[in-house]
Structure 1
Amino acid sequence: MRLRYTEWDPERHGSQKPLFEELFDLFEELLEHTAGDAEEALRWLRQLDEEYDLTEGSDQSIEDFIEELKKRGYLTENEEDGTVEITAKAERSLRRSALEEIFSELRKHGQGDHQTPHTGQGDERLPETRDWTFGDDISRLDATGTLSNSFRRSGLGDDWNLSEDDFQVHQTDHHATMATVLMIDLSHSMVLYGEDRITPARRVAMGLAELITSKYPKDTLDIVAFGNDAWEIEMEDLPYLDVGPYHTNTRAGLRRARGILHRRNNRNKQIFMITDGKPSCHIEDGQMYRNPYGLDPKIVNKVLDEGVICRRQNITITTFMIARDPGLQDFVRKLTEVNRGRAYYAELDDLGSFLFEDYVRNRRKHMR
């Protein structure tokens, strides 16, 4: 291999991101905290610029950045009231950013503290190829196709180089598929006591959706939100997911998830449940029975019954508990025991690592 040395060019090779990319990263972070409210995120961005002069040393302003977002298709104006909203392109970018952030944490922390003795059977590589996407296994790289793309684009001269768009990978034939329902608690306790728990849960949901659609396209992911009742969430709705003045109807969430998985034509089925609160209500004869003050045996037993039904239908429940209350942990242990499932007591900043490792590992176990 020939090496070509050139003089260092700080503008071309420096580590500092272009101003647009830095501001865009900040804008996406603000969107996560505002549940996809572009108007509020832009207000916060303007306030930060006033206080910290984010565009110092540049001939661009925050208003120029906002106009650039519109030109690149990340923002659109509402014709009725003139407000701005994020587009489908921005929603996809949020999911991709969430995936990249969680995988960077996985690489940083290694394999985590919950390894398994099981090994998985690799996918069968096919002769057909496709464009490389984030998360693809590098062992499936099509070297010939990648180099051919590069030569067609940059030629064979001194300026030859590789770019991300050149990479090709071999398609694979999955030996098994996985149907997953992700349950997210939207009860009011997810934002109580000054701790934002819904933003990490929302980020994990976006990242998991992007992982499955990009790396495991034959798998399915459905999202169920639960509060006083339970309802399904489309992937496009994930950035806007927010808490409400709800109690916690865990039973309704499990029943809705079980119904979805019953319709899925997959042998391998699982439920991931992210929650921080105790079950505090359920619907009985069309009426809500609630008790927010303690682990009411009447409510708890209904949830445990659902855990047993899921076990009989070969549906594993994995609970990601983001609370440390001993009584609540005891309830989770009981649910895990009757379902023969799994439970993790995860910190907010580790939630994505726990969930992603468990998804990929459990998928491999079913593929043996």
Structure 2
Amino acid sequence: MADTHRSRYRRYEGGDPLAPPVDIAEALDAIGEDVMAGYSPERAMQEFLRRGGDDRAGLDDLARQVAERRRELLQRHNLDGTLNQVKELLDTAVLEERKQLARDAMMDDADRAFREMRMDNLPDSPAAAVTELADYDWQSSEARAAYEQIKDLLGRELLDQRFAGMKQALENATDEDRAAINEMLTDLNDLLEKHARGEDTQQDFDDFMAKHGEFFPENPRNVDELIDAMAQRAAAAQRMLNSMTPEQRQELMQLSAQAFGSPALMDQLNRLDGNLQALRPGEDWSGSERFGGDEGLGLGDGTGVLQDLADLDQLSDQLSQSYGGARLDDVDLDKLARQLGDQAAVDARRLQELEQALRRSGAMERGFDGELRLTPKAMRQLGKALLRDVAQRMSGRQGQRELRQAGAAGDLSGASRPWAFGDTEPWDIPRTITNAVLREAGEQGPVVEVRGRPRPSLETSGPRVRLSVEDIEVQETEARTQAAVALCVDTSFSMAMDGRWVPMKRTALALHTLIGTRFRGDQLELIGFGRHAETMEIERLTALDARWAKGTNLHHALLLANRHFRKHPTAQPVLLIVTDGEPTSHLEPDGEVFFSYPPHPLTIALAVRELDNARRLGAQTTFFRLGEDPGLARFIDSMARRVDGSVIAPEADDLGAAVVGSYLGSRGPRGRGGPGSYDEWFGGRGFWVG
């Protein structure tokens, strides 16, 4: 068992081990912005990973480096390296032989003339000349050495094509070294052919590695790993041949027979290539590249470059993440470090960690349909950011200031009262301390304590103060009526076509966040209405793709809104309708959708009937009209007058502030008398939006 104790350690490639954990805050902000811009959460995450962060390279940057590296390899190199080396050695051999012939006075003139004639009439093709001189009796020792170098070079290059590093390892090789190579090739081919027949065992592989393991620095653990490594390089060698011109290929094939002065090596290598191609037909054996540089490559180095190009192509595919089920874990960090350097691998590893952190953070999850969605936690974070933007718009335009809600039971009245068991209102600290001081005036000591529960404090020079339960006063709040809010948002074709899709979603999320964090007692129903209407969770509405089906079914939306109001009979109904078109569809008694443009009178009548039902339920109604269509304006105005509602016509960017302002107006003391105009919501007072 030759590899029982073989170590498989390698250099640490994770970058700075003391670097702080990956920060996903920037990523979540960017993903949230893209989601609001209409991207799905999956695509938004992919886009962030692609472009990277402020101080982090993204996939696009790494892919650009891969493309530049590939282009640089092709533009720097050509495939004439081995042929040029052969030509140089051949020219040296011929020149040294001519010199020797001219110096040798003892040589027979006829013999000299014959030899000089052979030198003069050598073929222009280096391969043909080398073959022609195979049986030549060299007179010059320098010429003979140069010619022998040609055969040695060819043998080492051909082996280096299949076994990386063999060219250097066999420099100045002896006959015993060449015999060992021949024996290894014979045993290797026997093992591969036995494996192809299904007759090999792990012991066969272990015996082979024990005998020839020095030729395989990759330390394969079994015959399949051995075949994988060798087939990849052999396929690269074939692609190199495919990339040569026909003349180059012909020269090389003719020269190969002279490797080590015998065709035996080439016979074994051809046998090896045939075995590998049969065992791994899926490798790229037919591809080619176009080289255009000045730096010649030998056969071994050229094969290495072809392998590098194949690695770069794989990295390009992995970094593109364009195939089904793509994950950043697919990126081969070892190859990336080898091709682009350690920093590229560190950047990719950080992106992998970021993707994993995003998936583990609870910010995104997969639904039953397999689609990635923002979780409620992420929606709350995004909603808070949108709500801050709404507050700035509401306060900045009218010089208002942001106020913070205090108390959970209602709005502060300015009065206070003694605390009673069960009270949750905030303490009136000045009144509480004043009560204690007045009651305990004259007592000294460095302890501030609630009676029976002393707590240490800083030394003071004044009298000590003891707080007693009877000293505590709480701030009184006005009772606040709960509201049942129905936000009906138009999801028809025109909303997407006219650029109102994103503001609609931002508005819904801002209102949802406000109610969920500041008015938890209120009940919000989100209703989207296009060709038909449906209630939606905020996560679904936020991730909703633009809909291109025609139809504005206000009738169906009002049916759902009234059902929501009836489910909460003790709450104040608040109806908010965002639309950019007149009703063009309604529900038939059998549940089918009827569509007509221009609007059919029955469609209008059914919408008006449900609006009247909302008024009878006590709903405060506000229409938010988007667009400048005069017909829509007349229709909305008449609908609002019918139910004593109001109309606001904001710009798309101001829609969120308009809806939130209207809702807050309906929640405050003024709102109890009914919603006011757009100017009233933004005039003179701050709202509880902090």
* Structures share fold, TM-score greater than 0.5: yes
Distance in 1 (CA, whole Å) between partners of 2:373 and 2:32 is: 13
Of the candidates 566, 589, 608, which is equivalent to residue 262 of structure 1? Answer: 566
Asked whether the 8 Å contact 1:208–1:356 carries over to 2, the reply is yes
Amino acid at match of 1:186: T
Residue of structure 2 in register with 1:110 after alignment: 398
Of the candidates 93, 103, 111, which is equivalent to residue 381 of structure 2? Answer: 93
In the TM superposition, what is the alpha-carbon distance from 1:242 to its structure 2 partner? 3.9
In the TM superposition, what is the alpha-carbon distance from 1:267 to its structure 2 partner? 4.8
Residue of structure 1 in register with 2:493 after alignment: 188
Residue of structure 2 in register with 1:253 after alignment: 557
The Cα RMSD (Å) is 3.7
Residue of structure 2 in register with 1:217 after alignment: 520
Q: How does 1:23-102 map to 2 (within 5 A)?
A: 23-34=27-38, 37-49=40-52, 55=56, 62-76=351-365, 84-102=372-390
In the TM superposition, what is the alpha-carbon distance from 1:22 to its structure 2 partner? 3.6
Change in CA separation of 1:68 and 1:110 when aligned onto 2, cut-off 3 Å: farther
Structure 2: state its 5+ residue gaps: 1-21, 59-342, 401-409, 431-447, 449-456, 459-473, 674-690
Query: What TM-score, normalized by structure 1, do the two folds share?
Result: 0.71
Structure 1: state its 5+ residue gaps: 1-17, 113-120, 131-139, 149-154, 157-168
Larger Rg, first or second structure (1 or 2): 2
Change in CA separation of 1:111 and 1:266 when aligned onto 2, cut-off 3 Å: farther
Asked whether the 8 Å contact 1:304–1:334 carries over to 2, the reply is no
Of the candidates 558, 563, 584, which is equivalent to residue 280 of structure 1? Answer: 584
Amino acid at match of 2:29: D
Change in CA separation of 1:305 and 1:77 when aligned onto 2, cut-off 3 Å: closer
Where 2:628 maps in the other structure, the secondary structure is: coil
Of the candidates 505, 521, 532, which is equivalent to residue 229 of structure 1? Answer: 532
Distance in 1 (CA, whole Å) between partners of 2:394 and 2:355 is: 33
In the TM superposition, what is the alpha-carbon distance from 1:80 to its structure 2 partner? 10
Deviations 1:131-170 (A, max 9, x none): xxxxxxxxx69879xxx9xxxxxx98xxxxxxxxxxxx98
In the TM superposition, what is the alpha-carbon distance from 1:367 to its structure 2 partner? 4.5
Change in CA separation of 1:104 and 1:280 when aligned onto 2, cut-off 3 Å: same
Change in CA separation of 1:227 and 1:66 when aligned onto 2, cut-off 3 Å: same
Change in CA separation of 1:23 and 1:220 when aligned onto 2, cut-off 3 Å: same
In the TM superposition, what is the alpha-carbon distance from 1:77 to its structure 2 partner? 6.5
The structure with the greater share of residues assigned to helix is: 2
Asked whether the 8 Å contact 2:624–2:648 carries over to 1, the reply is yes
Distance in 2 (CA, whole Å) between partners of 1:209 and 1:53 is: 31
The structure with the greater share of residues assigned to strand is: 1
Residue of structure 2 in register with 1:201 after alignment: 504
Amino acid at match of 2:481: A
The structure, 1 or 2, with the larger RCO (C-alpha pairs under 8 Å, 6+ apart) is 1
Aligned-pair identity (%): 24
In the TM superposition, what is the alpha-carbon distance from 1:110 to its structure 2 partner? 2.8
- Count of matched residue positions in the alignment of Structure 1 and Structure 2: 307
Where 1:272 maps in the other structure, the secondary structure is: strand
Change in CA separation of 1:68 and 1:217 when aligned onto 2, cut-off 3 Å: same
Change in CA separation of 1:250 and 1:68 when aligned onto 2, cut-off 3 Å: same
Residue of structure 2 in register with 1:166 after alignment: none
In the TM superposition, what is the alpha-carbon distance from 1:266 to its structure 2 partner? 2.7
Asked whether the 8 Å contact 1:27–1:42 carries over to 2, the reply is yes
Deviations 1:231-285 (A, max 9, x none): 2223443422344324111111112101210221335212101111221111233
Where 1:106 maps in the other structure, the secondary structure is: helix
Change in CA separation of 1:79 and 1:106 when aligned onto 2, cut-off 3 Å: closer
Amino acid at match of 1:351: L
Where 1:309 maps in the other structure, the secondary structure is: helix
Q: How does 1:217-366 map to 2 (within 5 A)?
A: 217-244=520-547, 245-286=549-590, 287-292=592-597, 294-364=598-668, 365-366=670-671
Query: What TM-score, normalized by structure 2, do the two folds share?
Result: 0.40
Amino acid at match of 1:213: G
Deviations 1:301-320 (A, max 9, x none): 32223223322332222111
Change in CA separation of 1:322 and 1:62 when aligned onto 2, cut-off 3 Å: farther
Distance in 1 (CA, whole Å) between partners of 2:395 and 2:585 is: 40
